[in-house]
Amino acid sequence: MAYRYLGNSGLKVNEIIYGNWLTHGSQVEAETAAACVAAALDEGITTFDTADVYANGRAEEVLGNALRAERRESLVVLSKVYWPTGPQGPNDCGLSRKHIMESINATLRRLQMDYVDVYQAHRFDYFTPLDETMLAFADIVHAGKAHYIGVSEWNAEQITAGAELARDLGISLISSQPQYSMLWRVIEPEVVPACQEAGVSQIVWSPVAQGVLTGKYVPGQPIPAGSRATDEKGGANMIKRFLNDDVLTAVQRLRPIADEREITMAQLAVAWVLSRPNVTSAIIGASRPEQVRENVKASQIVLDDDAFARIDEALADVVVQDPSHTESPTQRPC
């Protein structure tokens, strides 16, 4: 498993990162989750992404248990703070100093670790001054509870302002974690240039568009039983934006491109993401160990100019690129 530097830092992370959104503590049992983590380790993945909101803390607990026997220094662990956790009281969300400080301690307790490598703001908080947020992150870094900081789904202006404050406080903001795929390219016009200027790189989630780019959703046919689109607790609301005949028909045009290269459509999608400017890593999830083993093969795939041109042609009418879709809640989530 290849490594790349994250942002303008000396930290190396895997090209493919194992993430446990929607799976650990919710969709799969702890034993299966541990087997998926073991498969990731076997494949050379040492970088893991989680968040306190995933299954209301349970995902962090499951990941911590699965990694407990591993040498901590050999791992890179990322977690996030913002969304409501715990009983969802008035201070159980956002990026206030109170919530950040309490959340990092809870995260470390659940992970059974002394520090996380990257601690990320899961969204931008319009209700807390940015300097309060960044000072709290700086105190966490200076206390040794995190090595670096990052953000998720912040727009270009927010990233630029956050990176400037981080530098003033003597800490490194090195990662942006947006949704990004062949279908969802909203970071390209503004976020990517801003990140390149700020020394930040992308760790992207949903590189296969919640499963749509695997090709298993076929226009005019019923949604496959047991798929994410049927699971109201597992992302059905997010995937529905792609479940229309125009998108699904366009996605099927990718199948010959994958077949000619003797790879799966999922591997094609992840390889495409890893080839894009300013992208360091792609996050994959899994509900079965074999999914991990298949998806990691994407790190070995190099796409040629013909593949890129045909992908763009196949999806031209359905790609979303409007940068306004990179947004955070304008109403407080708790």
Confirm whether 5 is a catalytic residue: no
- Three-class DSSP labels, the chain: CCEEECCCCCCEEECEEEECCCCECCCECHHHHHHHHHHHHHCCCCEEECCCCHHHHHHHHHHHHHHCCCCHHHCEEEEEECCCCCCCCCCCCCCCHHHHHHHHHHHHHHHCCCCEEEEEECCCCCCCCHHHHHHHHHHHHHCCCEEEEEECCCCHHHHHHHHHHHHHCCCCEEEECCECCCCECCCCCCHHHHHHHHCCEEEEECCCHHHHHHCCCCCCCCCCCCCHHHCCCCCHHHHHHHCCHHHHHHHHCCHHHHHHCCCCHHHHHHHHHHCCCCEEEEEECCCCHHHHHHHHHHHHCCCCHHHHHHHHHHHCCCCECCHHHCCCCCCCCC
Q: Which among 54, 119, 148, 180 is annotated as catalytic? A: 54
Catalytic positions, please? 54
